[in-house]
C-alpha cells in the first residue's frame, strides 16, 4: 500500500508518498512529472515514515543540512537508479555537472561513455526531489537548467544551501550565448 501526505514548504506545497518501508515519491505540486509512478489506489494518511520525511523537510527548509535520510525506494530502470545513487553523493551546498554524472555512471556501469541526454532524462525524472538532490545538478558551462520543479525553485534551493553560485546562470530562451546571471533573479 502507498500512503501520501502533503507538506507546506516555503517554495510551495509538496506531496510525499511512502510504502510501508520507504519514501517512494516527493514532488512539488504541479511540477513536471508530478506523481509519476504514484498509484491511483493510495491512502492519504500520515504514517511514522511520512512524519520522518516531514522532519527531514523541516530541517532542510530551516537552512540546516539534515543529519539523516529516511529510507528511499525508487523503482525505475537500472540506469536511472544508478543516476539517483550518484546524485545522492552530491554534498549539501555543492553542485555536480551532468557531464560528471555521465562519466561516473559510465564507470559504474562499465561503459565507455554515457549520453548526456540520457543523464538529463534520468535527473529530470527523479521521483524523490530534494532528498535525491537533482537541484544540485548543473550544466558544464554553469547553466541552471533541467529542474522539474522550475528554475526559480532550483535557484532558491541552492541559495538556501548557501551553494557557491559563482559562474552559475539561468540561460535566456535556450540561447547559450545570452546569459542571465543568477544575481538578477534576486529581489
For residues 98 and 52, what is the distance between their CA atoms, to the nearest angstrom? Answer: 30
Domains of the chain: 3-61 (3.30.160), 78-185 (1.10.10.10)
- pLDDT of the chain along its 187 residues, tens only? 999 999 999 999 999 999 999 999 999 999 998 988 888 899 999 999 999 999 999 999 999 999 999 999 987 788 899 999 999 999 999 999 999 999 999 999 888 888 888 999 999 999 999 999 999 999 999 999 878 899 999 999 999 999 999 999 998 865 443 344 443 333 3
Q: Which of 5, 84, 134, 187 is catalytic?
A: 134
What does the block give as the cell for 80? 536511472
Comparing CA positions, the residue from 30, 29, 24 lying closest to residue 9 is: 29
* Contact in structure between 137 and 95 (CB atoms under 8 Å): yes
134 is catalytic: yes
For residues 91 and 107, what is the distance between their CA atoms, to the nearest angstrom? Answer: 20
What pTM, to 2 d.p., does this model score? Answer: 0.88
For residues 165 and 7, what is the distance between their CA atoms, to the nearest angstrom? Answer: 27
Amino acid at each position: 500500500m502507498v500512503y501520501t501526505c502533503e507538506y507546506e514548504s516555503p517554495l510551495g506545497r509538496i506531496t510525499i508518498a511512502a510504502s510501508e518501508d520507504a519514501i517512494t515519491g516527493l514532488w512539488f505540486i504541479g511540477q513536471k512529472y508530478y506523481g509519476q509512478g504514484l498509484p491511483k489506489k493510495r491512502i492519504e494518511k500520515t504514517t511514522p515514515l511520512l512524519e520522518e520525511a516531514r522532519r527531514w523537510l523541516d530541517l532542510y527548509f530551516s537552512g540546516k543540512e539534515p543529519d539523516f535520510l529516511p529510507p528511499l525506494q525508487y523503482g525505475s530502470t537500472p540506469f536511472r537508479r544508478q543516476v539517483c545513487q550518484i546524485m545522492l553523493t552530491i554534498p549539501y551546498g555543492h553542485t555536480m555537472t551532468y557531464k560528471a554524472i555521465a562519466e561516473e555512471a559510465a564507470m559504474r556501469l562499465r561503459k565507455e561513455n554515457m549520453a548526456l541526454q540520457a543523464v538529463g532524462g534520468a535527473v529530470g525524472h527523479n521521483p524523490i526531489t530534494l532528498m535525491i538532490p537533482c537541484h544540485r545538478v548543473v550544466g558544464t558551462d554553469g547553466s541552471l537548467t533541467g529542474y522539474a520543479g522550475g528554475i526559480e525553485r532550483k535557484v532558491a534551493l541552492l541559495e538556501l544551501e548557501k551553494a557557491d553560485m559563482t559562474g552559475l546562470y539561468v540561460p535566456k530562451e535556450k540561447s547559450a550565448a545570452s546569459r542571465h546571471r543568477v544575481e538578477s533573479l534576486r529581489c
